Structure 1
Amino acid sequence: MEDIRWKKFKLCGDYNVDMRSLYLAWATPGGLEKWFLRKADFFTVPQRRRERDEQIAKGDTYAWHWHGYDNTVTEKGSVLEANGKDFIKFTFTDNTTVSVSFSTRNGLTIIDLLQEDIPQESDPTKNLLVQCQIGWTFYLANLKSVMEGGKDLRNKRVELESCFK
């Protein structure tokens, strides 16, 4: 019997940054490259590459490249929803989905990240839930660091790739 506790997880973070700036950090190629990706390419339905400061939209596809890895490592997927203000949903690794919601509380912007449809894996070293939860925890912390203080915590050296596997 499948254990549904391993099918999804939710993380949240609080940011002393206005909601619009945080939304754009997720919703533009240039925004994602400041804290998350080495290169974020988004393509409209007619396959036009979006500009660095142009907002993504439902139906866009993407090709992402990570710092610390060469160009052979690419994450591809599609944007399922992007409402322009407080919600983004996209496909991710192994046909999972990631939803990112933005709200405000007590003068802070809150980001709730939910990753769902995670396939169950019998080999613990390949457990996508654990690996993605670790990754997203780091990137949400890096988003806070970049947006609140300007310090980028990512490894940007390909020669160090093996220490992160």
Structure 2
Amino acid sequence: MIDNNWTKFKVIGDFNTDIRSLYEAWATPEGLEKWFLRKAEFYTIAGRLREPEEFILKEDAYEWYWHGFDDSAVEKGQILEANGTDFIKFSFSGNSIVSINIYTRNGVSIVELTQVNIPEESDPSKNLFVQCQVGWTFYMANLKSIMEGGIDLRNKKWS
């Protein structure tokens, strides 16, 4: 049976590093900027900007900026869950929800990214299912490259 559900997907990567390092890569502004974003800003409920090495918490608001785009291309959202060890959930494009689950299997650390509530779109150029799945696949590969070899695959020359 073919699953034609275009409202959710999962991307899984294995990493030769510890769970704590992977969690820091997802749960701190500094960590996200090493492999994913040009700039990651998180704001506490009181509106204070989190420090680069400070862990995000549930209900933080975020503003994310990418290499290759100016500051008008900003993704804004909220942290829905962050347990401090191995799980993060946040709102994302088109009111979708992304969950990051980090665990160990067969001696390697696994990052399992699930994106749900993706709005269905009749215009293929606006299809978040495809755009996000391709994007997350690249960034998971870049996270692996950074964590295991220190090589950043992003093209920062367009920034």
Q: What's the TM-score bracket when you normalise by the shorter of the two chains?
A: over 0.9
Tell me the equivalent position of 1:153. 153
Tell me the equivalent position of 1:163. none
Tell me the equivalent position of 2:72. 72
Counterparts of 2:157 and 2:74 in 1: how far apart (Å)?
A: 16
Shift of residue 106 of structure 1?
1.5
Note the residue ranges of structure 2 that are not aligned, 5 or more in a row.
none
Counterparts of 1:47 and 1:94 in 2: how far apart (Å)?
A: 24
Could you list the runs of 4 or more consecutive aligned residues of structure 1 that deviate by over 6 angstroms after TM superposition?
none
Counterparts of 2:126 and 2:77 in 1: how far apart (Å)?
A: 20
Tell me the equivalent position of 2:27. 27
Tell me the equivalent position of 2:61. 61
Tell me the equivalent position of 2:41. 41
Root-mean-square deviation (Å): 1.1
Q: Secondary structure at the match of 1:70?
A: coil
Counterparts of 2:158 and 2:74 in 1: how far apart (Å)?
A: 14
Tell me the equivalent position of 1:91. 91
Counterparts of 2:8 and 2:157 in 1: how far apart (Å)?
A: 31
Identity %: 63
1:120-142 deviation line (CA, Å, top 9, x unaligned)? 00111211100000000000000
Q: Secondary structure at the match of 2:5?
A: helix
TM-score (norm 2): 0.96
Q: Which one-letter code corresponds to 1:21 in the other structure?
A: S
Shift of residue 4 of structure 1?
6.4
Q: Is the Cα contact below 8 Å between 1:70 and 1:158 reproduced in 2?
A: no
Q: Which one-letter code corresponds to 2:157 in the other structure?
A: R
Tell me the equivalent position of 1:115. 115
Shift of residue 157 of structure 1?
2.5
Q: Which one-letter code corresponds to 1:131 in the other structure?
A: Q
Tell me the equivalent position of 1:162. none
